[in-house]
Amino acid sequence: MDIGAFLLDSVPFARLLGISFDSVGTGTAIARLPDRGDLHNHVGGPHAGALFSLAESASGAAMLSAFGDQLSRAVPLTTSAEIRYFKLAKGEVTATATLRADRAEVVALLDEGKRPEFTVAVEIRNADDVVVSEVAFSWTLRPNVRVQAGGDSPA
């Protein structure tokens, strides 16, 4: 599966921003936001919301690259995010996302019927390869609810 294309098909807002993917590997992803005037803020750089959306897209692709095979039994959800802005981003920016969890441990928790939580860290860099922002996303895999024999599914 082309995870970048899947994500852009599933999240029209990312397409609207012009986000693209340079690469997606197991637990990693690199996404790019173009330098467009309609994405700029009042000081001439990408709007904070556009930077956040770029980071979230990269994070989602990294998560899917590690746990996409679990989608039939769990729904991935972000539970929180913390973003830090270090300096004004100018020009095209890239977001590099990296899973900060052991895949086998996360899947083992899911196998036990638990709701595992894990982090995907993202660095956003400007065209000069300077880190302008960092984001930490907390994710969970919410197990699908199964209907028990002879009864209704729990609410």
User: Is 2's pLDDT higher than 60?
Assistant: yes
The 10s digit of each residue's pLDDT in 68-113 is 999 999 999 999 999 999 999 999 999 999 999 999 999 999 999 9
Please report the pLDDT score of residue 155 as a whole number: 47
Closest CA to 73 of 141, 13, 5: 141
pTM for the full predicted model: 0.90
Please report the pLDDT score of residue 108 as a whole number: 97
Pairing outcome for strands 28-33 and 93-99? antiparallel
Q: Phi and psi (nearest 5°) for 51?
A: -65, -45
Domain made up of 3-143: CATH architecture: Roll (3.10)
Please report the pLDDT score of residue 148 as a whole number: 54
Q: Is 21 exposed, middle or buried (0-12, 13-18, 19+ CB in 10 A)?
A: buried
Separation CA 4–CA 62 (nearest Å): 10
